Structure 1
Amino acid sequence: MKTRLLGVLLCCLLSVGMLHADEQSQADAAVANTLFDYDGSEEYATYKVNDDGSVDLIFASNTPDKLYEDILTQLQSHPHISSVLASKGGPVCKLF
């Protein structure tokens, strides 16, 4: 009985861990795909996706407001991203 209960508990813990990994990978793909649509984004934006599907995003300090707003709007409305924390605090980008 104890072995069976332990097995069920272990399965529950593993499924929770896999759920977080899935949330993170889906959010990561969403950010990568969104940034891919903007030429040169690897020059002016860096990001980190957290376990819960939230995204920390840093843009170059001279990123045009319109571009910044467009990308943020897309990311904030994406169903696989739980939240976005963004700033324009990165180094100046030569593209702008």
Structure 2
Amino acid sequence: MAGRKQSAKGRVVGSSGRYGPRYGRFIRKRVNQIEHISRAAHVCPRCDLEAVRRVGTGIWECRKCGFKFAGGSYVPQTPAMRVAARSIERSLQKEG
């Protein structure tokens, strides 16, 4: 077993590894999840392609069609925004 490096047991550091041992395991894990979601590509509401990227806090832009829109801080569509969009759709269907 000489020369073999021991691996970290049960530690998934990811992007929150920059914090080291500070702030506690649960907060570092939550930061890691949020950063993973916010940096991923999301589906564009206009062209339906997976090309939406986060430009800034709450600002999202599609790299394909250039559609720029406001959304959640870390996800393009928040659960509350989905509920609001659904109720708006229903009210428009009742009128038309």
When normalised by structure 2's length, the TM-score is 0.30
Structure with more helix by fraction: 1
- Structure 1 or 2, whichever has the larger Rg, is 2
* Alignment TM-score, normalising by the size of structure 1: 0.30
Task: Give 1 or 2: higher strand fraction.
Answer: 1
Greater RCO structure (CA 8 Å; 6+ sep): 1
